[in-house]
Chain A
Amino acid sequence: MKHIIWVLALVCLPALAVVEGHKYQFDNQRDQERFTHLAEELRCPKCQNQNLADSNAPVASDMRAKMYDLMVDGKSDQEIVDYMVDRYGDFVHYIPPMRSQTFLLWFGPLIVFVLGLLVLMWLKRSQKPVVQPLSAAEKAKLDELKKKAGS
C-alpha cells in the first residue's frame, strides 16, 4: 500500500511542473498556465523534436524570454504565436495553418483512408460469391442430412 502511494505521488509530480518558474514570475495562475501552454505549443527551431518548454537550447531560452516580455506587454496568445511565426516560419508552431502548401499535411491521412476504404469495398465486391438457390434434389438431400443429424 505504501508503495502504491509513493508511485502515485511520483506520477502526479509532473503536473506541478512549470517552465523555469523562478525566471518567469506571473502575478496570477492564469498567466502562468498560459505561458506553460504556449511554451508547449511552440517548437524549438534548433532541436526540432522539442518544444520551447522542453528545450535547453540557447535559442529556445531566448524565445521563452521573448514570450515572457510579450506576455507582460499584454499581447494575446495569437499575437505571440504570430510574432514567432513571422520570424521562424510555420515550422515553429506545432499547429500549422491550413494553406495550399499544408494541404497534404492536413488531409493526407484522410485521403489515404478514403483510398483504402475504396480498395476495400472494391475487393469485397469482386469477391462476393454468387449465391444460387438450392435445387429440388439438393434440398431433399439437405433434409435427409438434417434428419440424420437429429436422430
Chain B
Amino acid sequence: MKRLMLFIPLVVFFGMGVLFWVGLGQEDKSVLPSPLIGKPFPQFILNTVESGESLNHLPQEAVLVNVWATWCPTCKAEHEFLNALAQQGVKIVGINYKDDDFKARQWLKAYGNPYLFNIADPDGQLGLELGVYGAPETFLVDSQGIIRGKHVGDLNARVWEKLQPQFEALK
C-alpha cells in the first residue's frame, strides 16, 4: 500500500504531461472552431466593389471566399499568395469587410486582383453572419453553396498544403 502511494507523483506528472502536450500542441489557440461548417453560406444582398451592381449569390462552383480589408496588414501579406492561387486557376471571391470601396479599388489596382469579384460589406453585416472576427479569414464553399471549411489568418504555401486536398475534393 505504502509503496503504491509513492507512484502518485509519477501519475500526476504524466497526467500534467498529457494535458500540456494537448494544450501546447494546438497550433493557434486564438482560432475558434466555426459552427458554420456544413451549413449553407448565409444569404445576402450586397453590391460588388468593382461595378456596384447588386448581388445575392456566389458562383455555383467550388470557391474560396476570402474576407479582407485595406486596413488589415495581414491581408496585404497574403495578397501575393492569393494572386498566385488565382493564376493556378483557383476561384476566389472577395468580401471587402468594413472597408471603403474606393480604397479597395485602389488596392486591387496596385497589388493585382485575384478575385472573380468582390462583395462590398461596409457595415460588416455579412461578416457577422459568417462569424468573422478578424480579417483575413477564408472559407471553402462547395458548388452547392455549403461552407466546408474555414481558415483564420493569412493563406500561405504551408496553409494551402493542408487546405488544397480539401478544396480539390469539393470540385
Contacts and interface: CB of A to CB of B under 8 A. Distances in A.
> Do A and B interact with each other, yes or no?
yes
B127 A62 contact: yes
Select the residue from A59, A66, A85 with max chain B CB neighbours within 10 A. Answer: A59
Select the residue from B33, B131, B133, B134 with max chain A CB neighbours within 10 A. Answer: B133
A89 B124 contact: no
A46 B132 CA distance: 9
Interface size class, chain A: 10 to 19
A88 B8 contact: no
B1 A87 contact: no
A123 B5 CA distance: 9
A119 interface: yes
A126 B2 contact: yes
A119 B8 contact: yes
Contact of A48 (B30, B98, B132): B30
A74 B30 CA distance: 33
A87 B131 contact: yes
A58 B124 contact: yes
A81 B54 CA distance: 31
A63 B132 CA distance: 11
Given A62-B124, A88-B133, A45 B32 contact: yes
B127 A89 contact: no
Nearest to A88: B131
A86 interface: yes
B128 interface: yes
A45 B30 CA distance: 9
Contacts of A63: 128
A26 interface: no
Interface size class, chain B: 20 to 34
A91 interface: yes
Given A46-B134, A126-B2, A86 B128 contact: no
B35 interface: yes
Interface string A68-94: 000000000000000001111111000
Contact of B32 (A89, A119, A126): A89
A123 B127 CA distance: 57
Contacts of A59: 124, 127, 132-134
Interface of A: 45-46, 48, 58-59, 62-63, 66, 85-91, 119, 122-123, 126
Given A86-B35, A91-B33, 10 more contacts: A45-B32, A45-B131, A46-B133, A59-B124, A63-B128, A87-B35, A87-B128, A88-B133, A91-B32, A126-B1
